[in-house]
Amino acid sequence: MRLVFGLRVGDLGRKVPIRFSVVKGVGNGYNTTRTVSGICHGRIDMSENTNRRPLTQQEIDRLVQNGCSAADWGQILVTDPFSPDRIVKTHFSGHVSLGLLSGVSHLGAGVDMPCGLYHVTVHNCQIGYNTLIRNVSDIIANMVIEDHVLINDVKSITAKGKSTFGNGVGVSAVNENGGRAFPIYEGLSAQVAYLLGMYRDQPDVLKKLQELIFERVRQNESEKATIGPGAAIQHCGILKNVKVGAGAILEGVSRLENGTVSSCTEDPAYVGDNVIARDFIFAEGSKVADGAMLTRCYAGQGVRLEKGFSAVDSVFFANSHCEQGEACSIFAGPFTVSHHKATLLIAGLYSFYSAGSGTNQSNHMYKLGLVHQGILERGCKTGSESYLLWPARIGAYSTVIGKHSKKMDLSDLPFSYLLERHGKSELFVGLNLINIGLVRDEKKWPARDSRKASTILDHVNPKVLSPYTAQKMLAGIDILNCLHEKHPDAEHVLHCGVHIPAPLRAVELYRLAIEKYYADVLAERLRSLFHAEHEHFSMETLTDRFSSLKQYLERKVDLGLSRWVDVAGLLAPADALRELLEDVRDARLGSLDDVQIRLGALHTNYAEYEWAWVLDQLEKQQGKELVEWSKGDFTSIFDKGLAAAEKLLSQQTEDAAKEFSAGVQIGYGIDGGPEAKAGDFESVCGTLQTNMTVKMLRESLEKKKANLSEIVSQILG
Same domain for 78 and 197, yes or no, is no
Residue 91 is assigned to a structural domain of this protein: yes
DSSP annotation of 98: E
Q: Which residues pair with 625 in a beta bridge?
A: none
Contact call for residues 620 and 569 (beta carbons, < 8 A): no
Residue 340, exposed/middle/buried by CB under 10 A (0-12, 13-18, 19+)?
middle
The pLDDT assigned to 19 comes to 36
Span 318-331, mean pLDDT?
96
> Residue 136: phi, psi to the nearest 5?
-100, 110
Residue 663 is assigned to a structural domain of this protein: no
Of 88, 117, 145, which one is at a domain's C-terminal end?
Answer: 145
Please determine, for residue 643, whether its predicted confidence score (pLDDT) is greater than 90.
yes
The CA dihedral of 389, 394, 398, 403, to the nearest 10 degrees, is -10
**Angle 21-22-26 from CA coordinates, rounded to 5°:** 105
CA distance 183 to 357: 31
Residue 96 is assigned to a structural domain of this protein: yes
Same domain for 223 and 319, yes or no, is yes
Same domain for 206 and 323, yes or no, is yes
CA distance 477 to 412: 9
* Local confidence band at 695 (pLDDT 50, 70, 90 cut-offs): confident
Rounded CA Rg of the chain = 30
Span 391-407, mean pLDDT?
95
Structural domains counted in the chain: 2
What's the Cα-to-Cα distance from 54 to each of 51, 59, 120, 125, rounded to whole Å? Answer: 11, 10, 20, 15
The pLDDT assigned to 475 comes to 97
**Angle 347-352-353 from CA coordinates, rounded to 5°:** 50
Contact call for residues 260 and 239 (beta carbons, < 8 A): no
Of 335, 363, 398, which one is at a domain's C-terminal end?
Answer: 335
DSSP annotation of 688: T
pLDDT tens per residue across span 120-173: 999 999 999 999 999 999 999 999 999 999 999 999 999 999 999 999 999 999
Same domain for 116 and 162, yes or no, is no
Q: Which helix (H) or strand (E) holds 531?
A: helix 503-532
* Local confidence band at 540 (pLDDT 50, 70, 90 cut-offs): low
Total residue count of the chain as it appears in this document: 717
What angle, rounded to 10 degrees, do the helices at 503-532 and 467-486 form?
150
Please determine, for residue 411, whether its predicted confidence score (pLDDT) is greater than 50.
yes
CA distance 332 to 297: 11
In one letter, which amino acid is 605? N
Residue 687 is assigned to a structural domain of this protein: no
What angle, rounded to 10 degrees, do the helices at 606-622 and 631-657 form?
110
Of 145, 175, 208, which one is at a domain's C-terminal end?
Answer: 145
Same domain for 112 and 246, yes or no, is no
CA distance 618 to 544: 23
Same domain for 180 and 275, yes or no, is yes
Mention every residue, 6+ apart, whose C-beta is less than 8 A from residue 449.
Answer: 302, 318, 319, 460
User: What is the per-residue DSSP string for 642-680?
Assistant: HHHHHHHHHHHHHHHHGGGSGGGGTTSSTTS-HHHHHHH
Contact call for residues 696 and 634 (beta carbons, < 8 A): no
Residue 564 is assigned to a structural domain of this protein: no
Q: Which helix (H) or strand (E) holds 409?
A: strand 408-409
Span 241-252, mean pLDDT?
97
The pLDDT assigned to 17 comes to 36
Range with the largest mean pLDDT of 31-35, 119-123, 340-344 = 119-123
> Residue 478: phi, psi to the nearest 5?
-60, -45
Find the domain containing 175 and state its range: 1-43+153-335
Same domain for 221 and 98, yes or no, is no
Grouping H, G, I as helix, E, B as strand and the rest as coil, residue 311 is strand
Please determine, for residue 682, whether its predicted confidence score (pLDDT) is greater than 90.
no
Contact call for residues 162 and 192 (beta carbons, < 8 A): no
CA distance 552 to 182: 44
Residue 274 is assigned to a structural domain of this protein: yes
pLDDT tens per residue across span 449-498: 999 999 999 999 999 999 999 999 999 999 999 999 999 888 889 999 89
This prediction's pTM: 0.89
Which of 108, 99, 111, 109 lies closest to 148, judged by CA? 99
Q: What percent of the chain has pLDDT over 70?
A: 90
DSSP annotation of 39: -
* Local confidence band at 4 (pLDDT 50, 70, 90 cut-offs): very low
Please determine, for residue 35, whether its predicted confidence score (pLDDT) is greater than 60.
no
Same domain for 221 and 121, yes or no, is no
The pLDDT assigned to 425 comes to 94
Q: State the average pLDDT for the chain.
A: 88
Contact call for residues 715 and 540 (beta carbons, < 8 A): no
How do the residues of the chain divide into helix, strand and coil, expressed in percent and rounded to 5? 35, 30, 35
Alpha carbon 672 to its chain's center: 48
Q: What is the number of other CB atoms lying within 10 angstroms of the CB of residue 283?
A: 30
The CA dihedral of 334, 340, 346, 349, to the nearest 10 degrees, is -20
Mention every residue, 6+ apart, whose C-beta is less than 8 A from residue 699.
Answer: none
The pLDDT assigned to 662 comes to 72
Please determine, for residue 105, whether its predicted confidence score (pLDDT) is greater than 70.
yes
Same domain for 53 and 33, yes or no, is no
CA distance 552 to 318: 36
End-to-end CA separation in angstroms for the chain: 62
Please determine, for residue 200, whether its predicted confidence score (pLDDT) is greater than 90.
yes
The three-state DSSP-derived secondary structure of 213-277 is HHHHHHHCCECCEEECCCCEEEEEEEEEEEEECCCCEEECCCEEEEEEECCECCECCEECCCCEE
Same domain for 255 and 279, yes or no, is yes
Same domain for 256 and 296, yes or no, is yes
Same domain for 19 and 51, yes or no, is no
Residue 629 is assigned to a structural domain of this protein: no
Residue 159 is assigned to a structural domain of this protein: yes
